[in-house]
Structure formats: C-alpha cells, structure tokens
A and B are shown apart, each in its own frame.
Chain A
C-alpha cells in the first residue's frame, strides 16, 4: 500500500485511540507513558507486565482500559493458594447425568488482569503463561481456543518480596512489554488527591469494541518498516548479545545473556504500534527508541558484577542506545 494512503487510513482508523485515552484520563491522572504502553500491547497483541510500588494505579489503569471497551474482563488476584484449575477451569462430575461437565475458568475473557502475578506459585504462573503463548487452554481432554482479543495485563510489586515466586526469565520473556511505573509528578498527585477526596465519578464509557481493536491490529501490521529500521533493531538486539562488536567492551562483563529473537520481533511490532498511535504509516527511529526499554528491560540479564556496581538492565540498554548509530 502507498504510504500516503496508509497515513490517511491510519488517521481515520486510529480515532478510537484518542477516545480511549480520554476515557482512561477520566480516572487516571498522568501516567501517559503507561497508558501508551497498554495501547501498544493491545494493538500489537502482546501481553504487558506492569511493575511498580503499590498505589500507582496499575490495577485501576487496566480496569479502566477494559471498562472503556466492549469486552469481557476478569480480574484474578494471584495468591499463594491459587490453583491452575482456579484459572483455566476444571471438570466437575454431574451426579444426575453421571458425566463430567467442563467449568471454564476466568481466563476465558478478552482482558485478564493478573494482579500481583508473583504471589502465585510456579504451576499457576505456568498455566497462565502457557495460555498466553498458545492462546488456547486444555481442560481434561478438550482444548478451547481463547477469544480474540486476548490480552493479559499482569502487575508485579517490586517490594515485599518475601513469600513471592519471581517469574523465571523464560516466562517473563512471554510478556511483550515490561513497564515500570514511577510516581506521579507533584501537580498530578494534587489532581489525584482532589479527584479522590471529592469522589467525582465521571463514569467510564465503552467507546471501543473488540472488532475495532482487531481492525487496528491488522492496520498495524501494514505499517511500513524500512530495511534501515530493521537493521537498527537488529543492531540494538545484537549489541545486547555481543557488545564487543559494537565497541561496548565494558558491557561484556555486565551482561550474562542478551535479548532473544522474540525481542527483535516485539521491538519491530511495538515500533509499528507506536507509529500507529502517532498516526504514521511508517516507522521512524524514534518509535524504536521509544519502546526499546520496555521491550528489552526484562530480556537482558545482568551479571553479579553489574549488580555489585548497581548497574541494571536499563543502564545497559541506555548505554547501547547511546552507542548504536541511528540510520
């Protein structure tokens, strides 16, 4: 498709983005980056992991996003005693008919809010992450396809780590984005305070249908990504694996393993979704850089040496972005 025509089409089709942002904005003050990342996850069919200290409106943001869409939403509070069957469903014996009935779990929804995912044991996390990857669930001898759009938005609390089950690297990799939520600014917090004290309830309206999202997703796939941008993405991902090749010798001792090919895929997809949000039919380096930290921060593992020097994966990625030449 011609890019000018694609630009026009995107301008038309992305109108819902503003509606969605406005609706979320009625409840959530600030956190523009988090809302943008949630939309990117939605548009590129990728699951999002939100990390932040309690009280930063992680759960509220996800709840509001799903409330503003005509889609099924389920919130699952992950606790240490949660079982896989509580999530995916189970077979129940029907005494009257003498057979087993299938009772589907809360995972059969469009939006799943997996609250405090690291509080549930590995087998529950595993059941969820398998569903995330395969987009289908097997109960007994029957396999059920999950409805589209299917999006898992999980939250994680970086403090109070006692009694939690940190997600293994292989499972974290299944989240397209890991978004770190920071504290709001002073002005934003003043607004939050007033909004909550006055108990003003604007009421979030359903402004987007699942069909709109699926349509937008198809359009996101059509967004043009030039070979130069693809090479730029590969340079960034490869620099996490062999920093020496990019003149980043000092990072060699700090990276225990680099980003997987899933990172390249998600970086390209995320950049396309970012271009869509910015109403563009083509990807520019700003889109890649804008989404880079969220795609890579949970895919680059740092060594003990790095930890000893208080260097985390974000520092490593920023160093790489400052070294890899933009096309």
Chain B
C-alpha cells in the first residue's frame, strides 16, 4: 500500500515537472503588490512553450474567490528564440481590504502525437488590498479621476447627416408651399352663382327638356319641386330637401322674406305632391302653370348682388 502511494506521488510530480513538459515556463504577475479597494488589478499569465505544443487557455474563474473578474483581454502571442510566449491578461478588482493570494493556475498542454495532458501550474501571486485612507481634514475629491470618453467621429458624421437631411426636407417643403401659394394666387376666384341664378337656370333647362310634353308628368313635377326645394335650401338656409311640404312651409313662415310666396309655395308643392304621390294627372295648363309659379317663387325671393358684391334682399324683376 505504501509502495503504491509512493509510486503515484512520483508519477504526478514527474508529469507536472517542466523538464518533461514542452512548456518551459508559466508565470503569473500583477505588476503591483498593493492596491486600493476598487482598483483595477491587471493580472497576467505568460506561458512559454516549444513549437508543436498545444496550450489550453487557463481557467481562472474558480481560483479568484474574493476577486471580481471585470474583463478578459485578448491573448497576445510573441515568438522569441524559437519559443512561443502566450500572454493572457485579465482585469480584476477587489472590493474589500484583504491580503489576497491568487493560487497557482494549472496550465494544461499537450505535445503533438501525445494524448496525455501535461499540467504546468503558474506561481501564486500575492498582494494586498487596502481601503482608502480618509483624511477628514481634506475636501471631498474623486477616488479615481473621471474616465474620459474618447471622441467618436462616427456619431459626429451621423448627426451632421441627419441635420443635412432635415435641412433638405425643410427646403423642399418650403419650395412646395411657395409654389402652391403662387399657383393659388394665380387662380381666378370662382364666380359665385347666386341661388336664384342657379334655380332660374335649372328651371330653364327643365323647360327645354319638355318632360310633361313627352308624357313624363310625374318626373316633371318631381324635378320642378326639387329645383324649388334646392333653391329654398340655399336661399333660406333650411333643409328643404329633407322636409315634406307642410314642414317646409312651416319653416318658411319663420323667414319674413318668404311672406310674398307662402301661399303660392304651399299650393305649388301640394299640387306636385298630388301628382307625385296620388297618381293625379293634371291638365296641360296646370303643368304650364307650375312652371310659371316656380319662376314666380324664385323671382319674388331672389337676392341680387349689390355694388359691393354683398347679397341684398332686392327681388329680381
């Protein structure tokens, strides 16, 4: 039993020996031996090895204990005197005062053609972490100087680009607005057709169509009452198209200007209702009379344009 244990111990020590391995050395360092709480601790592991050797990256996470791993730098490789020097750098920090020991980190490597792994541990690194001595007599100051952010040209270019884009769009919109304004000012104002002018023109057109003469008596009465209702809508600002005869006349009564045509309108619309809704077939003279009455309704209530362009209540004769 004792012999077996002695043999195993010898075997492990031989495997770990740099003499047998292709790794010449593996050293760890921190540069300083004393740090303040929160300082960045630059921990470096440098491994020197012969060509043909495969070195596995050290795994330091489990060995840190009280330390916090802040950053893992990119490993750097240099070749000197036929040996390769591989450096792994880490930024650590400690947030409590203590005497810290980073134990030896095992470096695993393997030579070409050999399946067995060899272990070369680094040296342990010791340093102390102490708290900042506070001098109560001095003023308050930064523990560390503020970090300066390097100027980023890319961002500047983005801002300049955005500003240019906004300027171009604003200019385009301004040009468009100016063009529209110019176009609007060049358009002649639409000639305002007065309600009675429109109604008289429609009545004239209806006369030309000769509906009742062609036997379309119902259509004639529908059309003539529609013209008069539309005229009332515009002239008296009332919803005559949506009102039946009695209600339309009731509303007309509220407008003093309509006084001369009240009875005439009631008779005119009622007659048309008889034709439209009661299959009443009027004589030709009644149809002619309807047109005369329609003209009379419009003419007696027409509003003419005054000299200043304002509408006046003068009837058009």
Interface residues of A (CB under 8 A from B): 3, 224, 226, 228-229, 280-286, 289, 321-327
Contacts and interface: CB of A to CB of B under 8 A. Distances in A.
Contacts of A284: 244-245, 273, 277
A323 B243 CA distance: 9
A3 B278 contact: yes
Given A280-B278, A284-B245, 17 more contacts: A3-B278, A3-B279, A224-B277, A224-B278, A224-B279, A226-B278, A228-B276, A282-B278, A284-B244, A284-B273, A285-B244, A286-B245, A289-B244, A322-B239, A325-B241, A327-B222, A327-B276
Nearest to B279: A3
Contacts of B305: none
Interface in B230-269: 239, 241-247
B56 interface: no
21 contacts: A3-B279, A3-B280, A224-B279, A226-B276, A226-B277, A228-B277, A229-B277, A280-B278, A281-B278, A282-B277, A284-B273, A284-B277, A285-B245, A285-B277, A289-B244, A321-B242, A322-B239, A323-B242, A324-B242, A326-B242, A326-B244
**Interface bracket on B:** 10 to 19
Q: Which 8 A-B pairs have CB atoms at the shortest separation, nearest pair first? A: A285-B244, A282-B278, A286-B244, A226-B277, A325-B241, A3-B278, A326-B244, A284-B277
A282 B276 CA distance: 10
Contacts of B246: 286
A64 B246 CA distance: 32
A235 to B, nearest CB: 11
Contacts of A226: 276-279
A322 B243 CA distance: 8
Contact of A326 (B243, B278, B280): B243
B279 A282 contact: yes
Nearest to B229: A326
A62 B294 CA distance: 47
A282 B239 CA distance: 25
Nearest to B273: A284
A280 B270 CA distance: 13
Interface string B23-59: 0000000000000000000000000000000000000
Nearest to B240: A326
Contacts of A280: 278
A136 B179 CA distance: 78
Contacts of B243: 326
Nearest to B244: A285
Contacts of B242: 321-326
A1 to B, nearest CB: 10
Which among B222, B276, B277 has the highest number of chain A CB atoms within 10 Å?
A: B277
Contacts of B277: 224, 226, 228-229, 282-285, 327
Contacts of B239: 322
Contacts of B279: 3, 224, 226, 282
A227 to B, nearest CB: 10
A285 B274 CA distance: 12
B257 to A, nearest CB: 23
A229 B277 CA distance: 7
A163 B246 CA distance: 45
Nearest to A324: B242
A268 to B, nearest CB: 13
Nearest to A280: B278
B43 to A, nearest CB: 70
B265 to A, nearest CB: 15
A50 to B, nearest CB: 26
Contacts of A322: 239, 242
A248 to B, nearest CB: 12
Which among A3, A323, A326 has the highest number of chain B CB atoms within 10 Å?
A: A326
Contacts of A283: 277
A286 B278 contact: no
A277 B86 CA distance: 113
B230 to A, nearest CB: 11
B209 to A, nearest CB: 19
